[in-house]
Structure 1
Amino acid sequence: MEKVKQKIIDYRMFWRWHFYAGLVCIPFIIILSITGPIYLFKPQIEAAIDAKYDHLAFAGAPQSAEAMVKAAVTAVPGSRFKAIEVRPDTHDAARVTVLKGDEKIHLYIHPQNLKILKQVPEDARFMEVIKNIHGELFAGRFGQVIVELAACWAIVMILTGLYLWWPRDIKSTAGLLYPRLKMGKRIFWRDIHAVTGIYISALALFLLLTGLPWTYVWGNAFKSARELASPAPASQGWSQGRADEKKALKAEGTAPIDLSQLDALLDTAHALDLPAPVTLSAPAKGASLWKLASDTGNRPQRVTLMIDPMMLEVISREDFHNKKPLDQAVGYGIAAHEGQLFGWFNQALGVVTALGLMTLCVSAVVMWWQRRPADKLGAPQILPDERLAPGLALIIIVLGIFLPVLGISLIVIGLTEWLILRRIPRVRDWLGLQP
C-alpha cells in the first residue's frame, strides 16, 4: 500500500514539475520554434536575398580586387579591410567586409564601375536578426540567460512528459502511439499532446542539448573545461554570443595591409576549390599570412588555410579531422542543429521538430484552458505527507549540476516558495501549494 501511495505521489510531483516547466518555457519555445526553422534555411535565404548582385551584366573586364577593396574602405570612413568573399563568377558583385570599431560592415561592390550596390552592418542582416532573436531575444547577455533558462526548463518538460506518458498498463496503443479522434475534445487534445511528444522528444532533446555550447553560463563553463582538458586547445569554432564576437573584433587592432597580391591570392583560392562560402581574410595584427577559410554550414567539411602572399603557398592547413574529438563532437552537433549536416533531410527534421514543439505548446494551453478551475492556476495539488522520493531527488541534483542555470532557478524558486508564497494564503491556494 505504501509503495502504491508513493507512486501516486511521484506521478503527481512529475506532473507538477511538467506543469511549471511548461509555464516557464512555453512562450520562449514558441519564439525558438519560429526563428529556428528560418535559420535552418540560411544558405537558401541569403542566396535569394543576394541574387540580384550576382551575374551582373557589363562589357569588358572587371577591376582589380585591390581597387574594389579600396572602394569599400573609402565608402566607410574610419574603417579597415577585414575580408573578401571568394566568388565563383567574376561578374558577381564583390562582397567585402570592413571593420569600424567592433562592427562588421558588408559592402557589395560593382566589379567594373566600383559603385557601392549595397552596404549593411552585420547586425542588420536578415539572418543575423533571426539569429539574435533566437539566441538573445534582442536583449544581450540578459536575453542569452533567459533563452538558456527556457532551454533548461524545456529539457525538464520533455523528461517529465516522457515519465507521464510512459505506459504502465498497456491495453491499447490508442492514446500512446496515435491519437483518439472521436472521444471528445479533452481526449483529443490530451492525445495530440502526448503522441506528438513521444515522436519528437528525442529530436527536441537533441536540439536543446546541441544548443548549449552557444549559451552564456553553460557555454562558458564548457569553454573553461575544454581549456583545462588540453594544454593548448585549438581556437573554438563557436562563440558565446555577439558580445564575445565584438570583443574579439575590437581586440584585433589595426595594421597596414598590402593589397598588391590580393588578385593573385584570390586566383590561388579559386584553384583550391574549397566548399563555399569561402572568405579570404587579411593578416592579423603583427602577422603576414592571409587566412583562407571555408565557412560552409556543414562543419565537418570546413577547411582553414594560412597562405604566404608573396610565395602564394599554403603554409598550414587545418581540416575538421585535425580537431580534437570533443571539438569534432560539438561541430557535428552544431551542424545538425543548424540543419546543414546531411542536406535537405536535416532541414526537414528541424522543421518537423519545431512544428512538433509548437503543437505541444498549443495543445498544453488548450488542455489547461479546458480544465482550469475558476479560482486557481490549475497546477496539480500537493498531497498530504508528500515527500520527495530518493530517485527523484537524485535526478534533480544531477540536472541542477549539469544545467547550472536550472539549478540556480530551482534554489530561487524553492526559497521564494518557502519564504514568501506559502505564507500568503491566497497566493498559496491559487498556486496549489496547500495540501
Structure 2
Amino acid sequence: MKNYQPLRRLHFYAAFFISPLLLTLSLTGIGYLFYTNVENHIYEHEFFANSDTKGHQSLDEAVQEIRDVYKGYEIQKISIMDEPYNNRVTIGNEDGDSRYVFLDEHNQRVANQNAKFTFANVLRDTHSSLMIGGSFVNYLVELAACWAIFMILSGVYLTFKSKAFKKPKQKTSFLADRRIHAIIGLIIAIPIFIIILTGLPWSAFMGKQINQFAEEHPKFGYSAMVANPPQSEDNELPWATRNKEQPKSKKDPHAQHHGGSQIAIGTDGQQSLESIISKSEKQHITKPFSIVYPADDKGVFTVSKSSNTGVTGLDVAPKEETTAYFDQYSGKLLGKVNYDDYGLIGKWFSFGIPLHEGHLFGPLNKIINLLVCITFISGIVFGFTTWIKRKSAISHSSVPQVNGRLPIGLIIFLVILGVLMPLFGASLIVVAIVEFIIWKRKSKS
C-alpha cells in the first residue's frame, strides 16, 4: 500500500487540472467522427453540383484559370476524386491562408471555400490545438494526452488496491459515485488507451520522435522502400511517407525553365496533369488520389493515396495506400512506395490513425469510438461529483500530501513513463518542485 497514497495524490491532481482539456478533446473528437456525414450534407453544392459555365476544359487549363483568378495564391495540391465528388484544388498564399476550389466533371469552377473554416478543419484545429495554434498549445494538448495515460494506469491500480469496484457497505454518496467512477474506468481503460496511442503520431513532440525513430530503424520504420518519399508538409500524404527527401527529375539541359518559384507549374517540357493521371492509372493507382506539383525544376510529381487525409471522400483503406513519383519532364515512374513497403511503425499508424478518426471499418468504428468517448466523459463527470461530495463530507477535499520517501517501485514506474513520454517526465519535475515547496511551508508552520 506504500504506492497507493502518492499515486492517489498524483491521480487526483492530474484529473483536477487536465479534465477540462480532456472534455474538450472528447467533445471535438465526437464531432470529428462524423465530419464526412456532416460535410456531405452542408457542402452538397460544393461537393456534387455542376458549374453554370458550359463547355469543357482540360484540368491544366482549369489550374491556370485558378492561378489567374486567385492572384497571390499558389497551387498546393489537386485531389482527384471518385464519383460522385467534384475534384478539389487546394491553393495557399504566403500569409498561410488556404482555399479549396471545386471543379465539376468539365473542370469548370463550381465554388470555393476558406479552408480554415470548414467543419472538418475547425474541429481538427480545436481538437489538436484548441483553435489557437502555436507550439505551446500543441505541447499542452500532448501533455494532457500523456497525463491521461498516467490516469488510466494509476486508476486501474488504485481501483484494485482500494477495492473501489465492490459495492460499499456504508451507504455513503461519494463512495457510491467513486464505485461508478472505478467501474467506468475499468471498462474503458483499454479502448481509451488505444485511442490516445493512435493519436500520438500527430503530436508536437512525440510525433517527431516517433518519425525520427522510424527513420533511424528501418526494420521498424521504412524498410524495403522502393524510392525515397517526398519531403512535404502535405497532410494528404500517408503518415509513413511524409518526411523524406524527394527523388530528383532529370532535367533536359537544353530546355528552358522558370526559376525562383515556390512550385514548378508549366515549366517548359513539363508533363500535363492529364498525362500524370493517365500514367498513374496505368500503375493501378485508382481514384481517389492527390497530385502535388514539383517543388522546383528538379522536383517530381507526387501522386498519393492515403488512409488519413482528413478530406471527405479522399480516404482509402490502409492497404490501398501508395505514393508514386513521376519525372516531371518524361513522365517516367521514378519510384513507388506501397503499404507493403512500410516498416512496422508505418503499417501500425496506417491502421491506427483511421481507427482513431473512426473510419477504419465503417460505421461500426464510429459507433465504438462514440461510445468510448461518451463513457470517458461519464467517468470524468462521476470523478468530479465524487470529489464534490467528498468535499462536503470531509474537512479536506484534496488527497493528503505524502510524508517520507516515495517507494522505489513507484519511482521506477514514473521514470519509465517519463522516458517514454518526455513531456510527462518534464511535468513530473515541475510537480516535484511544487510538492517540495508545499512541504517546506507546512514544515515551517
Common topology (TM > 0.5): yes
Partner of 1:85: 79
Secondary structure at the counterpart of residue 113 of structure 2? strand
Counterparts of 1:266-345 in structure 2, within 5 Å, are 266-269=277-280, 274=285, 277-287=288-298, 289-297=300-308, 298-308=317-327, 314-345=333-364
Distance 1:167 1:193 in 2: 15
- Does residue 32 (structure 1) correspond to residue 25 (structure 2)? The answer is yes
Partner of 2:376: 357
Asked whether the 8 Å contact 2:51–2:110 carries over to 1, the reply is no
Distance 2:232 2:141 in 1: 17
Distance 2:189 2:364 in 1: 18
Distance 1:123 1:59 in 2: 27
Partner of 2:430: 412
Opposite residue 41 of structure 2, the aligned amino acid is: A
Distance 2:419 2:329 in 1: 53
Opposite residue 362 of structure 1, the aligned amino acid is: V
| Shift of residue 295, structure 1, vs aligned partner | 2.7
Partner of 1:217: 205
Distance 2:141 2:12 in 1: 19
Alpha carbons of structure 1 residues 225 and 305: separation in structure 2 relative to 1, 3 Å: closer
* Aligned counterpart in structure 2 of residue 132 of structure 1, from 94, 100, 125: 125
| Shift of residue 83, structure 1, vs aligned partner | 2.2
Partner of 2:414: 396
Partner of 2:182: 194
- Does residue 422 (structure 1) correspond to residue 433 (structure 2)? The answer is no
Deviations 1:415-435 (A, max 9, x none): 12223x33445xx99xxxx9x
* Aligned counterpart in structure 2 of residue 254 of structure 1, from 263, 268, 280: 263
Root mean square deviation, CA, Å: 3.7
Alpha carbons of structure 1 residues 155 and 113: separation in structure 2 relative to 1, 3 Å: closer
Partner of 2:215: 227
Partner of 2:41: 48
Asked whether the 8 Å contact 2:175–2:386 carries over to 1, the reply is no
| Shift of residue 93, structure 1, vs aligned partner | 4.2
Distance 2:129 2:284 in 1: 35
Opposite residue 254 of structure 1, the aligned amino acid is: I
Opposite residue 71 of structure 2, the aligned amino acid is: P
| Shift of residue 160, structure 1, vs aligned partner | 1.1
Asked whether the 8 Å contact 1:219–1:240 carries over to 2, the reply is no
Q: Which structure has more helix as a fraction of its residues? A: 1
Distance 1:365 1:217 in 2: 30
Alpha carbons of structure 1 residues 13 and 416: separation in structure 2 relative to 1, 3 Å: closer
Partner of 1:19: 12
| Shift of residue 168, structure 1, vs aligned partner | 7.4
Alpha carbons of structure 1 residues 311 and 369: separation in structure 2 relative to 1, 3 Å: same
Distance 2:188 2:338 in 1: 33
Asked whether the 8 Å contact 1:72–1:109 carries over to 2, the reply is no
Asked whether the 8 Å contact 1:200–1:356 carries over to 2, the reply is yes
Distance 2:53 2:109 in 1: 15
Distance 1:238 1:113 in 2: 26
Distance 1:379 1:282 in 2: 58
Deviations 1:179-220 (A, max 9, x none): 89x956434422321111111001111122222222222223
Asked whether the 8 Å contact 2:271–2:328 carries over to 1, the reply is no
Asked whether the 8 Å contact 1:152–1:403 carries over to 2, the reply is yes
Asked whether the 8 Å contact 2:263–2:294 carries over to 1, the reply is no
Number of aligned residue pairs: give it: 403
| Shift of residue 74, structure 1, vs aligned partner | 1.8
Deviations 1:19-66 (A, max 9, x none): 112112211110110111222234333333432231427696532212
Alpha carbons of structure 1 residues 59 and 218: separation in structure 2 relative to 1, 3 Å: closer
Deviations 1:240-285 (A, max 9, x none): 99xxx9xx9xx99233425772234335556766465411222221
| Shift of residue 366, structure 1, vs aligned partner | 0.6
Opposite residue 409 of structure 2, the aligned amino acid is: G
- Does residue 66 (structure 1) correspond to residue 66 (structure 2)? The answer is no
Deviations 1:330-351 (A, max 9, x none): 3322232222322222222211
Moved more, 278-287 or 59-68: 59-68
Alpha carbons of structure 1 residues 299 and 45: separation in structure 2 relative to 1, 3 Å: farther
| Shift of residue 107, structure 1, vs aligned partner | 1.3
Deviations 1:307-361 (A, max 9, x none): 3566666442211111122222233222322223222222222112211210111
Gaps of 5+ in 2: 223-227, 236-241, 246-259, 309-316
Secondary structure at the counterpart of residue 26 of structure 1? helix
Alpha carbons of structure 1 residues 315 and 162: separation in structure 2 relative to 1, 3 Å: same
Secondary structure at the counterpart of residue 304 of structure 1? strand
Opposite residue 146 of structure 1, the aligned amino acid is: L
Partner of 1:150: 144
Secondary structure at the counterpart of residue 166 of structure 1? helix
Opposite residue 346 of structure 1, the aligned amino acid is: N
Distance 1:409 1:11 in 2: 20
Alpha carbons of structure 1 residues 362 and 228: separation in structure 2 relative to 1, 3 Å: same
Alpha carbons of structure 1 residues 339 and 94: separation in structure 2 relative to 1, 3 Å: closer
Distance 2:428 2:91 in 1: 45
Secondary structure at the counterpart of residue 151 of structure 1? helix
Task: Give the percent of matched residue pairs that are identical in Structure 1 and Structure 2.
Answer: 24
Gaps of 5+ in 1: 1-6
Secondary structure at the counterpart of residue 388 of structure 1? coil
Asked whether the 8 Å contact 1:214–1:238 carries over to 2, the reply is no
Distance 1:92 1:224 in 2: 36
Give the 4+ runs in structure 1 shifted more than 6 A.
57-60, 236-241
Moved more, 220-229 or 57-66: 57-66
Alpha carbons of structure 1 residues 276 and 42: separation in structure 2 relative to 1, 3 Å: farther
